[in-house]
Amino acid sequence: MKASIASAWQRFRPGIAPTVVVLVLLPLMVGLGCWQLSRGQEKQVLVDSYAERRAAEPIHGDQLAALADPAFRRVHLRGQFDAEHSVLLD
């Protein structure tokens, strides 16, 4: 059994081109995988932040302009509908 495994390894002789391709692409792929993991963590932080904002109490419209990042905030507004200046987006 050991002789057949040893002879199988002796028959495996990759050329220089596949070796170079693997040596170039392997670190690149590992680096991209690490980047994807860190990007996933950043996205999770954003999703958590947006979920907190959606769950928070609504703020008044005049306070909205003072915020640095008003995205996904609940806002309490008052007004009336102006039918003459409405636009239908289709």
* Within-domain flag for 18: yes
Q: What confidence score (pLDDT) does residue 1 get?
A: 58
How many Å apart are CA 23 and CA 30, to the nearest integer?
11
Q: What confidence score (pLDDT) does residue 6 get?
A: 65
* Within-domain flag for 74: yes
Which H/E stretch holds residue 11?
Answer: helix 2-11
Listing DSSP states for 27-51 in one string gives HHHHHHHHHHHHHHHHHHHHHHHHH
* Within-domain flag for 4: no
How many Å apart are CA 31 and CA 39, to the nearest integer?
12
Tokens of 28: 């690149």
- Global pTM reads 0.55
Domain span at residue 56 reads 14-85
* Within-domain flag for 75: yes
Q: What confidence score (pLDDT) does residue 65 get?
A: 84
* Within-domain flag for 26: yes
* Within-domain flag for 2: no
* Within-domain flag for 9: no
Instruction: State how many domains the chain has.
Output: 1
pLDDT per residue rounded down to tens, the chain (90 residues): 566 666 666 787 889 999 999 999 999 999 999 999 999 999 999 999 999 988 999 998 888 888 888 888 899 888 898 989 988 888
Tokens of 37: 């993991």
Tokens of 13: 């002789």
How many Å apart are CA 90 and CA 82, to the nearest integer?
19
* Within-domain flag for 19: yes
